[in-house]
């Protein structure tokens, strides 16, 4: 994971520790670092923040006697990464929300949005399993009535994790399916509703309007954008578009295990201003974990 970005961070430490760092050296290293980040699909806003931070830190760096210069530069880079990664601990807050709504006899409703092919349907099932393992069962709404095979896919996943799936036929109103799921969960006292929705290869206005309608009808407590880590900056731009038109509360990055660059993981929360809730780290249904800052930091730059 993240081999390219890891190399970029490691290289800047190796370069900076071996010289007295003149102003010319610093500019050269910062420019090289910037280009490497861009090649790793790090968002421009994050590239500029990290590059400027590196310039300031290196210009102020004074190697201490009897200390390893590598350790000093490494600490600088580690703190830089920490500044652009989002806070953690939001899964616990969602569990508290489930409990609060449960006390009122209502389910917590989560709407999942994102482009086609990003792993959204599998992520819905993974999150359903994650919460089921912690005592919270789900009703899943098969509101992707557009993509061929989508309903069969989520039904099969629902059987695997023993979650009830509410569906209609292809071409049905996705908002009606979602509302049926909410009503079913309310009637059966199921504490969680997860709404799977359609995506497109390219995000279009019709899709965004469809998401807005589902949101208007079901009034979800949370909207989660599911992005494909392999898409890099494309995933970030899509997240921004969904946030602009629909409004999102959290981000989940799927396929993190296959991402050699790492740009999306480093950038997406910083650019969108939305916390990273879960990351997908494999193909099995248990291969999802709450976002953990130290886990990402270690992948990007072992400390």
pLDDT tens digits for range 213-226: 999 999 999 999 99
Close Cβ partners of 247 (under 8 Å, ≥ 6 residues apart): 215, 223
Q: Are residues 76 and 209 in the same domain?
A: no
Indicate which CATH number applies to the domain containing 43. Answer: 1.20.120
Query: What average pLDDT is seen over the chain?
Result: 89
- Residue 218 corresponds to which tokens in the numbers above? 């079901």
Indicate which CATH number applies to the domain containing 113. Answer: 3.40.50.300
Residue 218 three-state SS: helix
pTM here is 0.90
Q: Are residues 141 and 270 in the same domain?
A: yes
Residue 210 three-state SS: helix
Cα–Cα distance between 261 and 107 in angstroms, integer?
38
Q: Are residues 171 and 284 in the same domain?
A: yes
Query: Pairing mode, if any, of strands 276-280 and 288-290?
Result: antiparallel
Say which residue, 138 or 71, is predicted with more confidence.
Answer: 138
Q: Of the ranges 18-22, 30-34, 81-85, 283-287, which one carries the lowest mean pLDDT score?
A: 18-22
Q: Are residues 14 and 124 in the same domain?
A: no
Residue 254 three-state SS: strand
Q: Are residues 100 and 242 in the same domain?
A: yes
% of the chain residues with pLDDT over 90: 56
Any domain includes 302: no
Segment 91-95 shows an average pLDDT of: 95
Q: Are residues 203 and 283 in the same domain?
A: yes
Amino acid 219: pLDDT: 96
pLDDT band at residue 67 using 50, 70 and 90 as cut-offs: low
Q: Are residues 195 and 145 in the same domain?
A: yes
Sheet of strand 250-254, all strands in order from the earlier edge strand to the far edge:
164-166, 138-143, 192-197, 108-113, 222-228, 250-254, 276-280, 288-290
CA atoms within 13 A on the CB side of 133: 11
Any domain includes 280: yes
- The pLDDT tens digits for 4-40 are 878 888 887 777 766 566 788 888 888 988 999 999 8
Cα–Cα distance between 32 and 36 in angstroms, integer?
6
Q: Are residues 156 and 251 in the same domain?
A: yes
Amino acid 293: pLDDT: 84
Range of the domain at 196: 90-291
Q: Are residues 41 and 129 in the same domain?
A: no
Q: φ, ψ for residue 227 (rounded to 5)?
A: -115, 155
Q: Are residues 140 and 239 in the same domain?
A: yes
Residue 123 three-state SS: helix
Any domain includes 301: no
> 38, 54, 84 — which closes off a domain?
84
**Number of folded domains that form the chain:** 2
> 84, 100, 128 — which closes off a domain?
84
């Amino acid at each position: 994971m993240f081999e390219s970005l890891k190399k970029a961070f490691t290289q800047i430490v190796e370069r900076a520790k071996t010289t007295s760092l003149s102003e010319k050296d610093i500019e050269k290293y910062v420019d090289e670092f910037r280009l490497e980040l861009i090649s790793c699909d790090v968002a421009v806003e994050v590239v500029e923040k990290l590059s400027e931070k590196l310039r300031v830190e290196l210009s102020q760096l004074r190697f201490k006697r009897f200390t390893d210069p590598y350790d000093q530069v490494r600490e600088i880079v580690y703190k830089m990464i920490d500044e652009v990664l989002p806070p953690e601990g939001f899964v616990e807050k969602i569990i508290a929300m489930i409990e609060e709504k449960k006390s009122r006899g209502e389910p917590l409703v989560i709407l999942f949005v994102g482009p086609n092919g990003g792993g959204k349907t599998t992520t819905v099932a993974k999150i359903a399993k994650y919460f089921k393992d912690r005592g919270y069962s789900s009703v899943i709404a098969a509101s992707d009535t557009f993509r061929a095979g989508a309903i069969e896919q989520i039904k099969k996943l629902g059987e695997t994790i023993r979650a009830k799936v509410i569906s209609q036929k292809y071409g049905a109103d996705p908002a009606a399916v979602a509302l049926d799921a909410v009503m079913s969960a309310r009637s059966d006292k199921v504490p969680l509703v997860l709404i799977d929705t359609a995506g497109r290869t390219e995000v279009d206005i019709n899709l965004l309007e469809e998401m807005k309608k589902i949101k208007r009808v079901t009034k979800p407590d949370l909207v989660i954008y599911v992005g494909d880590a392999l898409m890099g900056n494309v995933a970030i731009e899509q997240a921004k578009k969904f946030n602009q038109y629909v409004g999102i509360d959290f981000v989940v990055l799927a396929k993190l295990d296959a991402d050699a660059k790492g740009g999306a993981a480093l950038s997406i929360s910083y650019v969108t201003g939305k916390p990273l809730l879960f990351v997908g780290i494999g193909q099995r249904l248990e291969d999802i974990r709450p976002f953990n800052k130290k886990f990402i930091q270690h992948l990007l730059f072992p400390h």
